Structure 1
């Protein structure tokens, strides 16, 4: 092709057709530029296609993780609500004052309480952030949710950490002192549950758990989970 164009230029010059040659040269330059632009366009299109494939894989991984994270969060949320209701029922019985009937109801409520932390899987988001793959994600709202997820999660878990610190440092050590875990000496347990200190620890437990429930209701963690699921949903 280059030899073909060279022959045409030489033929025009040999016939002293300079103006025609000049127009031809300009046309040749334009054709070359068009060819380069087309090549760049094809290259950009191909790269964009690869980027969209990579983006879809990232979104699918995040979507899958957060479907499970939502299931886990809904479970923890339900557990916390049930436990808080049970604690309110226990506190309504105070003072117990060695009343065996009240104690029986108290322990019935206590059996409904579960302690469960929320530990979502965030590996897919960490991979996106740490590998600089965030630029592959086109949705700016989703980018913002992904970048802020860790901070939102830590804000929520702060309330959980305070709750379990109180439980481990104060609640359980005291219970091990005043209650008969074997169940053989009911008198010890009746005495232990009748103390003001015991009842105050139950109230503390309720108040700390109420802070977790408040975080569920007022902090953005649940909305973050739902929005990440929505924004990573596969498009039909």
Structure 2
């Protein structure tokens, strides 16, 4: 097309038709500009399509990642709920005077372990690379950024419970009482260097163990830490549901 206009311009120049020459020259310039604009539009459209496809794939991977981690969170929540109930029942048991000392003479088990070992590699990759800022849905972007903070806060609560509350409880019992008192049916050796020759002395220690205020306070501390963790899990579940709903909506919109 441009060659066609150029040939016409040359003919007009040879025929000294200056007015028409300039008109065709302007027309040729306009055609070039239009061609450039069309090419840019097509290129921009292709880039937007690639970006949209990349975002759609990231959203699908994020959704799968959240669903996998949610299942593990529910497993941990179930364990924490059972541990909380155990401590509450045990404390009521210890303070019930109608129950014989021998029946109270044991330690509550199953309080440690079962931590939430989540993996958010897709989300972390989006945050680290800054690609999360390219997400078009403002609500989703906000929830994902907020989720990272909620997750870290819960992990701190979880680690404090496992590394401080439970360890303090075990250390206190290990240093204070022999295993023959707190684990009367166990075949393990004593936790400390104790030599009790008298059965009466062991019985007195059993009574002391059952009524030991510091022991009960450590149990209450563990109970409180479990309660905080369960509140943290509740908050995580609420935000998880919001994120999943937004992800599913965005994925459907891009189909």
Aligning the two structures, in what range does the TM-score lie when normalised by the shorter sequence? 0.7 to 0.9
C-alpha change, 1:94 and 1:202, in structure 2 (3 Å) is: same
Question: Which range is displaced more, 158-167 or 34-43?
Answer: 158-167
2:230 maps to 1:213? yes
Matched with 1:99 is: 101
Q: TM-score, normalised by structure 2?
A: 0.78
Query: 2:93 is paired with a residue of what secondary structure?
Result: coil
Cα separation, 1, equivalents of 2:242 and 2:151: 14
CA distance in 2, matches of 1:211, 1:64: 28
- Distance in 1, Cα, partners of 2:240 & 2:4: 64
How many residues are aligned here?
A: 230
- Compute the TM-score of the two structures, normalised by the length of structure 1: 0.83
- 1:197 maps to 214
- Unaligned 5+ runs, structure 1: none
CA RMSD of aligned residues (A): 2.7
Preserved CA contact (<8 Å) 1:66 1:225: yes
**1:223 partnered with 2:225:** no
| 1: CA distance, partners of 2:96 / 2:5 | 104
Q: Which moved more, 1:33-42 or 1:75-84?
A: 75-84
SS at match of 2:94: coil
CA pair 131-230 structure 1, distance change in 2 beyond 3 A: same
Alignment-derived partner of residue 32 in structure 1? 32
Secondary structure of 1:232 counterpart: helix
- Cα deviation digits, residues 16-49 of structure 1 (max 9, x gap): 3222222222222221111111101111111111
Aligned to 2:123: 125
More displaced 10-residue stretch of structure 1: 137-146 or 28-37: 137-146
